[in-house]
A and B are shown apart, each in its own frame.
Chain A
Amino acid sequence: MTNVKSFMARQDILALLILAAVLFVVMPMSMDIFRLNLFGKYLTYAFVAIGLVLCWGKGGILSLGQGVFFGLGGYCMAMYLKLESSTPEATAIQSTPGIPDFMDWNQITELPWFWEPFNSLTFTLVAILVVPALFAFVIGAAMFKRRVGGVYFAIITQAIAAILTILIIGQQGYTGGVNGITDLRTLKGWDIRTDEAKYILYYVNGALLIGVLVLCQFVLQSKLGRLLVALRDKEDRVRFSGYDVANFKIFVFCFAAVLSAIGGAMFTLQVGFMSPSFVGIVPSIEMVIFCAVGGRLSIFGAVYGTLLVNWAKTTFSETFPELWLFGLGALFIAVVLVFPNGLSGLYRSYLAPHVDRWIFRKPPAGGFTGAGPLDTPAFEPEPAARPAE
């Protein structure tokens, strides 16, 4: 019985080790810093996709507005970096030195009150986590306590993404408008634009991603993880088993929001700017596609799906820019119709049994494994659930 447990744990550890090897060894060795930085950017979307696995894949709550949280995290980071690079000396030519350049262009003569705290790095780091969590909490509480779900929830999140984009673009003097917050230079005096900084940020990003995956694995292995699946399946049964369903939905929505925000903050650091084009409807939907392609039930699948789609996007949109959107749409339809569990579903069906045999020298665990008739992946059966074999 114990070996079953260690087997399952080993499979997850294996997935984690392979991903770590890809991120920390294979990619840095096979790419120049320009490409590596590009993949680092893709990986920041993976945070969003992982959040969607928990929220949508497991919990059945489809949010089409995750760009909002990605953006909130990214903007918090960008505000700090912008203030740091807007010293009175650096901005001496402005009519009001010491404030961000775009404010000056918009005839703003004083730093707005909500920018003030972003002079502190500690505040900024806390805000990156807390602001999106609070915002998600407010949305979640308003929606889930009223039992708004399914398509209505998806539409509302989409509307919020649209509204926030319009707000950011409209309030140019406070947000940098459609250009976003650009020309970010240093973090506590450390120039983030150098190749060396880009390497370091890439590794920090990778380490954070691995940390997030471990955290998600913990959540999914807990009873809460199984409750999410139960909720997706039979919400009323969960409610009439004594759970306050709304609280679980709010939790997972906030959790996904925080992960997205971490991705957003890392995006700003690695790419050097943040703009509303990462907040709105299109990026939000793209992020759902990353998750779907990777397999919306697998947190590891979501990472590979994100990398694959973005790599394809870059490749194709360099060659056939006008065709990319059609390609993306076709990909999404194909995923939904042909392989609903994405890459990870294919892996589970075709490769996992062999991996189990070759690496672990074990026959596939008894009972239910791999894709069943419903094409759902095995939800790790725990040893206690097994009668002695």
Chain B
Amino acid sequence: MNTVTNNTDFLLAIENLTVSFDGFKAVNDLNLYVDENEIHVIIGPNGAGKTTVLDLICGRTKATDGSIKFRNRELTEMREHEIVREGVGRKFQNPSIYEDLTVFENLEISFPRGRSVFGALAFKRDAEVIDRVHEIAAMVFLKELLDTQAAFLSHGQKQWLEIGMLLIQDPELLMLDEPVAGMSVSERKQTAKLLNEITKGRSVMVVEHDMKFVEDIAHRVTVLHQGKILSEGSMAKVQADPKVIDVYLGH
């Protein structure tokens, strides 16, 4: 499929990646590359292994075989928080925020400073932190809600908050699992705009079902099916691929 190289110019290079759950290969000998400043969308039917790929990259699931190189550094041997510190941020499929804390506190906790126990004890809410929280909150449409307890946000706002919590870490690779699931049409539009904005200077991997949304944002699309790549390329190319139409889009 792709030529296998050892040191790549890609931001992220996944090669021969396999994970097997009790013999069932949820991801099967996968090769996938993400360029700098690229919005790379992964689509595919339910159970295709999309979430599992993100889990493998961020260290939540350990690979059975293969390699994941981020800036030519092997991620499969690192622990989750180390991968985050390398510059990989991951949003979960269900909004995963701290409901008992305010929007401000949610963002503040995600600010990449004072991540050790004693660092956290000594952490000061200084001007840098406050400015950054305000800046990110404005980006994710939550400026007016900084003081609101996160439990009281709408579903869409929770999704945005989680995206904001990742943005404040300024990751080089941002992975979003179904970011617009459960959002209203206008919220989807806002989110598409947001993604186009935040991709400046970073790469984004998005798992998504909503084809309209994918068309709006994708630079490149990978179609996953039974843990393998079915098709890859521009949205137009993928949509025209008979294999894809057969297993996925045709439904």
Contacts and interface: CB of A to CB of B under 8 A. Distances in A.
Given A247-B117, A366-B147, A379-B101, 11 more contacts: A223-B108, A229-B98, A232-B100, A239-B81, A240-B80, A244-B116, A245-B81, A367-B147, A368-B149, A372-B149, A381-B147
A368 B115 contact: no
Given A236-B92, A372-B149, A386-B146, A243 B99 contact: no
Interface in A308-356: none
Contact of A224 (B98, B120, B148): B120
A237 B90 CA distance: 9
Contact of B81 (A244, A366, A368, A382): A244
12 contacts: A222-B121, A223-B123, A224-B120, A234-B98, A239-B80, A241-B110, A241-B165, A248-B120, A374-B99, A382-B125, A385-B104, A385-B105
Contacts of B165: 237, 241
B246 interface: no
A210 interface: no
Contacts of A243: 81, 115
Contact of B112 (A223, A242, A374): A242
B193 interface: no
Interface of B: 58, 60, 79-81, 84-85, 89-90, 92, 96-102, 104-105, 108-110, 112, 114-117, 120-123, 125, 130, 144, 146-149, 151-152, 162, 165, 169
Given A234-B96, A240-B80, A374 B151 contact: yes
B100 A219 contact: no
Contacts of B105: 226, 379, 385
Interface string A202-221: 00000000000000000100
Interface in A80-133: none
A238 B97 CA distance: 9
B221 to A, nearest CB: 25
Given A241-B110, A387-B147, A247 B116 contact: yes
A224 B121 contact: yes
A374 B146 CA distance: 19
Contacts, number: 119
A32 interface: no
B174 to A, nearest CB: 12
A240 B90 contact: yes
A384 interface: yes
A115 to B, nearest CB: 34
A277 interface: no
Given A230-B109, A236-B96, A237-B97, A368 B120 contact: no
A271 to B, nearest CB: 34
A166 interface: no
A240 B84 contact: yes
Nearest to B119: A223
A235 to B, nearest CB: 10
A248 B151 contact: no
A376 B81 contact: no
Contacts of A376: 100
Contacts of B99: 233, 374
What are the 6 closest A-B residue pairs judged by CB atoms, nearest first?
A385-B104, A223-B123, A242-B84, A224-B120, A367-B147, A230-B98
B114 A387 contact: no
B110 to A, nearest CB: 5
Which of A244, A374, A385 is most buried by chain B, counting CB atoms within 10 A of its CB? A385
Nearest to B168: A241
Nearest to B150: A233
A251 interface: yes
Contacts of A384: 104, 125, 130
A36 B96 CA distance: 49
A227 interface: yes
Contact of A223 (B96, B102, B109, B147): B109
A129 B98 CA distance: 33
A27 B3 CA distance: 80
A238 B121 contact: no
Interface string A363-389: 000111000111010010110111100
B96 A237 contact: yes
A232 B101 CA distance: 11
A293 to B, nearest CB: 21
A247 B130 CA distance: 26
Contacts of B149: 367-368, 372
